Chains A and B, each alone.
Chain A
Amino acid sequence: MFALCDCNNFYASAERLFRPELNGKPIVVLSNNDGCVIARSEEAKACGIKMGDPEFLVRDLIKKFGIEVFSSNYVLYGDMSERVMHNLARWFPKLDVYSIDEAFGWLGGIKGLQHYIPEVRKSVVRNTGIPVSIGVAPTKTLAKLANKLSKKTNGVMVLDNDEKITAAVKEFPVHDLWGVGRQHYKKFEALGIRTAAELRNMPEMWFKQNMTIMGQRMWNELWGRPAIPLEVMREVKKGITVSRSFRNYIEDPGVLAEALTLYASRLAEKLRNEKLRCLYLQVFLYTNKNREDHPQHFPSHTHKLLIASNSTTDLVSIAVRVSARLFRPGVKYRKAGVIATGLVPESELQLNAFYDHDHGKKDVVSAVLDKLNLAYGRGTLRMATEGYEKKWRLKHEYLSQGYTTRWSDIIKVK
């Protein structure tokens, strides 16, 4: 049996845990740069706020209903997610963390799931303060479906026999199934397939002829035959990206270099965390395509390194140089980013006969950098080209505190 556990309105719930006065009140969390709504409490959903709504479009609703607004506080969400996952891991022989707020659990031979799962839920909610929902079924696809249904049954739904599964798929809308994207949905709609039950009643031949291997797996999974294993192994990354919108437009090459220094530093850090080096570094710039009155420019350049690297100094100097070349005066840039590709494991260093290798000097520098920044906070030691003012920095006007990660931010009680 598989379980899918997920946190209800995770970001909103995490914010509310430390602001209990907001329980029962509508709140929303905005994306990076306070752009769009990425999480809503149930009450905010009821106010008519949709996922992905741009902040400026719902400003009136926010005012009208007195909705509390938060900038995304990923430091907090990351820590709360870790707590939830660790607490879940105590109850499942195997756990695959699927995203920041979801995990698949494998239940092995655990018996009495009707009693066990509510226990799990109670314990996780109590220990972390984050409401979670758990759906259990013989396959991952059905567990995901059970999880959706559990939102209306106190957070637990265990489909442990055929009758329950048949009842669950009967009215389940096909577009809410795991793995059904827009393309599939169109195909199903044209055939008049509305529910999961109707989909699984299609003959297997139809799936073989009309769907990819994923479709066939879905068909089997809907009948309770596991076809998707619990993936404990992550797939190897092909590229790592760091990109962000600026707070205001950047029109100055020096300021652009500051932003790219930060992004490239962060990218180097990410590479080192994954114990990878990159052979190619792509730098790109965007203007705001919604502003037709602005000159548009979307340049991009991929630089090939002589030797794969994950050193901050290497990547920053390339990013800054490339960005200076891409930059065009008189253009207002809205966003920039760096992408590392051609990733190779740190351990497999290919040297180049015509290149004077530094014999690991840069690795030592990187190690010191990482150690200091881990101990004293990100950005304690950084490249000077990052600048000091950082006016381009992300907007986060409604940022809550680091209640669980910063001593200065812990809550004072009377």
Chain B
Amino acid sequence: MVTSVTNLSRSGLSDWIIQRVSAVLLAAYTLCILGNLLMNPDLDYQSWRALFDSNVMRVFSLITLAALCAHAWIGMWIVSTDYMTSLQFGKAATFIRLIFQVGIVLIVAVYLIWGIQIFWGN
């Protein structure tokens, strides 16, 4: 058992499932938005706004945003633990990796809060 404390869920299995489920959600949301754009070729601001004012779309958007944040955290964490190790950076690796991981989590948090503000704010 390898201990890790900066990945999203602490568990390898849980991270793996979250990554796959969030990928499906992101694909579904992309198809939904693309389908909407294709079905409304003469889209204007009013209808675009009406789409995102509906509760269904707001809930779907928020869930997708959460999925995107989780997906990004897990993915970038994996990238950092693959390519920011002592093999590449020597003794400074732990410091560089931790700074990168904290930075990613902060960016994810900012996007999440900002997104909630956009979808659910006035």
| A and B associate | no
